[in-house]
Amino acid sequence: MNLPNKLTMSRIILTIVIIILCLFPFYSVGINFPKFNVSGIVVDSTYFLAGIIYIIAAITDFLDGNIARKNNLVTDTGKMLDAIADKVLVNSILVIFAAKGFVPAIVPVIYIFRDEIVNTFKMDLGNKGKVVAAIKTGKIKTASMMVGIGLMFFYNLPFELINIKMADFLIYFAVIMSIISGIEYYNMWKKNK
């Protein structure tokens, strides 16, 4: 278990902590996270705390790959763990956000559905010995979703203060890019099958 893989595993653990923070009824065990007012916006500190942990998890996503490439520590296990950790982090949070009414349910449905279809294309091509690298639209999708989720945890602040729905925009943009990149992966699969 090299350092990049340890960072990847820490992202999975941090995801579990975020899920607990967002879903566990702490009030039932006498724990009440404070709420505060930011220019008329009532902010639950539970989401701020989850957002801070999310940022740390997102940083591990950036670090694990860079450290692995820089130190020649790229492994098949690491690639697999990284993909799983990314999907567990983002997809879990999208489902929670939909359950809490922060985003429409169609957002995680499209996003997760696309991921599963693209994974099928990648596995099929991988079984034929063809490596499928990440494509530009997929990277744009991921970056937009990661930033959008981060803003959502922080109640879209500071953009909310000037009535710009940046978190919503980035999340919807990421969903559109997920569809576009899904089509591109399909075309790549069709050409190489």
Determine the 3-state secondary structure of 73 from DSSP: coil
Rounded to two decimals, the pTM is 0.90
Per-residue model confidence as pLDDT tens digits over 26-75: 989 999 999 999 888 899 999 999 999 999 999 998 888 889 889 888 88
Number of domains in the chain: 1
pLDDT in tens, 140-167: 999 999 999 999 999 999 999 999 999 9
Question: Helix or strand or coil: residue 25?
Answer: coil
What is the rounded (10 degree) CA torsion for 137, 120, 112, 134? -20
pLDDT for res 56: 96
Tens-place pLDDT, residues 63-122: 888 898 898 888 877 878 888 898 999 999 999 999 999 999 999 999 999 999 998 998
Per-residue pLDDT tens over the stretch 166-190: 999 999 999 999 999 999 999 999 9
What is d(CA 14, CA 76) in angstroms, rounded to the nearest whole number? 22
Q: What is the CATH number of the domain that holds 51?
A: 1.20.120.1760
Task: Give the range of the structural domain holding residue 20, as residue numbers without chain letter.
Answer: 3-192
Q: Is 44 helix (H, G, I), strand (E, B) or coil?
A: strand
Question: How does DSSP classify residue 40?
Answer: T
Tokens for 147? 């930033």
CA gap 135, 114 in Å, rounded = 14
